[in-house]
Amino acid sequence: MTIASSSSQAGIIQRDSAWWQSAVGYQIYPASFADSNGDGIGDIPGIIAKLDHLADLGIGFIWLSPVYASPMVDNGYDISDYRAINPIFGTMADMDRLITEARARRIGIVMDLVVNHTSDQHPWFRAARADRGSPYRDYYIWRDQPPGKGTPADIEASFGGSAWSRDSKSGDWYFHLFAPQQPDLNWTNPALRAEVHAMMNWWLDKGVSGFRMDVIDLIGKQPENGIVADGPELHRYLREMHEATLAGRDAVTVGEAWSATPQNAPLYSAPDRHEVSMVFQFGHVTQFWDEKLGKWKPKPIDWPRLKSTFATWQGALHGTGWNSLFWGNHDLPRAVSRYGDEGKHRVASAKALATILHLMEGTPYIYQGEEIGMTNAGFTRIDQYRDVETLNFHRIQLAEGVDEAAFLAGARANSRDNARTPMQWSGAANAGFTQGTPWISVNANYPSLNVERDRADPDGVFQLYRRLIALRRDHAVIRHGDFRLLLPDHPALVAYQRRLGSETLLVIANMSRQAVNLPPSGISAIHGRDILTGRRVSMQPGGKFEPYETVAIWL
């Protein structure tokens, strides 16, 4: 799939873009997107039925969260067969139809590649447990006793508890960075790596457009040395994988890398390194987590800090690599609830967030529902949650003496289930998501917040996203211009300039619930036509920005 770089106005430097540099990605979390058969769980035929919604939006590719065979301990991030579709999501024929139907709309399908670990029900792990002499034994990571307290190998799992669990069959301990039902693969084994490459080629030959690589920065781990992320062999494995699978193909790859920093990110995405197209980096997310209680005790958003993080990333990867741009995903709270205002200013703040993100350099990703400004779940009781991480930490933190109300407040802000409530398609029962009983509750606000309503509103969130996506396709300055942060210390105004050749784009947004004035210095008078709304903007220093008011004009 190749989208030629577009020509622009005279005087603009023309550059060739890879198709994924002008495209926008859209993440689908299948269980929560659209249910076609009334069992309460979203599925592949459901996705196919909604492809026109995505084609209208103008996206270039779908990142499809896992639909593979899985016992669903972690909603599909525990895979028991990489070449089979989970029957709750459909059949391989449905999957092939999804690839074809998407392609007919110029949309690529990007598969979630979860190869840091498998399910404990994967035949490899079953064989590994059953027989110490099996060739599959070494596909996993074993110890004959648990690590001593405080030794390097004494590592904590991401979902709580020790990363070592005893296998009742062989009596040994195996390593898992997530749930005990997600044993980590041993990437030092070349046979395992070859299996992964073969599987990737199998999917690429089927016509998928690339991969989102789950926790890929963990594959170089050395548990015995206490090394988990960013291990010494990580980049060698990624280059080897590229050579064996991606070389010569026009695919997009995005590696999830919680450990990525502005310093090491170019190691992944510099074109001459042949690893991945870009990484998902999380500096803008984790900077607002508590030092001790992490995501369960979030800090309020501090805009000067957040702006400076974005500016650092923009600078670090300009010309040296490539950025991904995102507010949310299936692990994170809803953008408008976390960074905007889900109440009175919901629509305006959702639009402001979209604008400031999409006009930066990089490939933007939209998480399902973000295009209509969907909000956090609003759950108040633990029995409303479904996520293994939330349920585990509820148990762990309460046992450690954390007050239940405090935990629930943290979960309400940051539980992964905030992003997993069903897509709100219409005001019909269950938001038009299912004819049955949804596996997780629909957000109560669906009668007023749904695709049907938002799309019908010319000033709604959807139409703004649509415009942003088209602008990126049409303007090289949005794809490749350099980035300069303005008013870095202003507590509410996010302001920056993009420049390429003679073209300069100015973006200013008031990210607060109060009206603010443009400061006397830093930005001179603004005159022009807003590229998003078409309205005339004319403002002097001192001029007023309403809450979440946003302007984007050519200078």
54, 383, 484, 496 from 481: Cα distances, Å: 27, 48, 10, 12
| Smaller CB separation from Ca ion, 37 or 392 | 37
Position 214 contacts ligand TEU (CB under 6 A): yes
CA angle, 145 then 146 then 151, to 5°: 120
Give whichever of 351 and 416 is closer to ligand TEU, judged by the CB atom.
416
Minimum CB distance to ligand TEU smaller for 307 or for 416: 416
DSSP-assigned letter for residue 541: T
Residue 296 or 446 having the CB closest to ligand TEU? 296
Number of residues near ligand TEU (by CB under 6 A):
14
Residues in 140-169 at the binding interface with ligand TEU, rule: CB under 6 A: 158
* Maximum CA extent, the chain: 76
Q: Is residue 417 a contact residue for ligand TEU (CB under 6 A)?
A: no
User: Can you tell me which residue has the tokens 């269980």?
Assistant: 31
Element holding 468 (H helix, E strand): helix 461-474
To the query of whether residue 214 is one of the catalytic residues in this protein, the response is yes
240 in active site: no
Query: Among residues 18, 39, 303, 482, which is the contact residue for Ca ion, using CB under 5 A?
Result: 39
Among Ca ion, ligand TEU, none, residue 35 binds (CB under 5-8 Å by kind): Ca ion
Chain center to CA of 47: 18
- For the CB of residue 64, give the shortest distance to ligand TEU in the complex, in Å: 13
214 binds, among ligand TEU, Ca ion, none (CB under 5 to 8 A by kind): ligand TEU
Going from the C-alpha of 439 to that of each of 42, 139, 384, 525, the distances in angstroms are 9, 34, 10, 53
Q: CA 48, 418, 158: angle at the middle one, nearest 5?
A: 105
With binding defined as CB under 5 A, does residue 94 bind Ca ion?
no
Q: Determine which residue in the list 26, 31, 68, 74 makes contact with ligand TEU, applying CB under 6 A.
A: 74
**Smallest distance, Å, CB 209 to ligand TEU?**
19
Contacted by 114, from Ca ion, ligand TEU, none: CB < 5 to 8 Å by type = ligand TEU
For residue 437, give the 3-state DSSP assignment: coil
End-to-end CA distance of the chain: 34
Instruction: Using CB under 5 A, pick the residue from 26, 28, 43, 181 that binds Ca ion.
Output: 43
Cβ atoms of 230 and 162 closer than 8 Å: no
Identified catalytic residue from 214, 230, 331, 387: 214
User: Residue 310 or residue 425: which is nearer to Ca ion going by CB?
Assistant: 425
Residue among 282, 307, 232 at smallest CA distance from 511: 307
Binding to ligand TEU by residue 331, rule CB under 6 A? yes
Question: Should residue 288 be labelled a site residue for ligand TEU when binding is judged by CB under 6 A?
Answer: no
d(CA 335, CA 326): 9
Should residue 435 be labelled a site residue for Ca ion when binding is judged by CB under 5 A? no
Q: Does 178 bind ligand TEU (CB under 6 A)?
A: yes
> What helix, strand, coil percent values describe the chain, rounded to 5?
35, 20, 50
CA–CA gap between residue 257 and residue 218 (Å, rounded): 8
Tell me the catalytic residues.
214, 256
- Site of interaction with ligand TEU (CB under 6 A): 74, 77, 114, 158, 178, 214-215, 256, 258, 295, 330-331, 389, 416
- Site of interaction with Ca ion (CB under 5 A): 35, 37, 39, 41, 43
